[in-house]
Amino acid sequence: MLENFTGEVVKMLRLKVLEVFPVLTQLIADSWPLILSDHMYEADALQVQTCIYSGSNVLLSADKKLVTKAIRMGIRAIDTEDESKIKELLEK
């Protein structure tokens, strides 16, 4: 499993479709309100804050709850299992 993950990460880095961000103190601090008031999981809150910090124009996730929460926050988010939305995103 770890070997597959590593292979996918390396492949995405080579294709320049993945950018890795360090977990900065500010990202962690900005995640706390989401964890406390919105009852988000820590990792989900960190993903949302990283999306905002990085200036990403879309958050991709297979986690339907995370996608729904991100949309409610005004973030463009797409469920990776929704093939029509992924195709639409790639065609732009």
What is the reported pLDDT for 12?
Answer: 82
Give the C-alpha distances (Å, rounded to integers) separating 85 from 12, 16, 21, 31, 65: 20, 21, 25, 27, 17
What is the reported pLDDT for 20?
Answer: 84
pLDDT in tens, the chain (92 residues): 777 888 888 888 888 878 888 999 999 999 999 999 988 999 999 999 999 999 998 999 999 999 999 999 999 999 988 888 888 887 87
Q: Which two tokens stand for residue 46?
A: 């960190």
Positive/negative CA dihedral, 14, 15, 16, 18: negative
**pTM beyond cutoff 0.85:** no
The DSSP string of 21-70 is: ----HHHHHHHHHHHHHS---HHHHHHHHHHHHHT-S-EEES-HHHHHHH
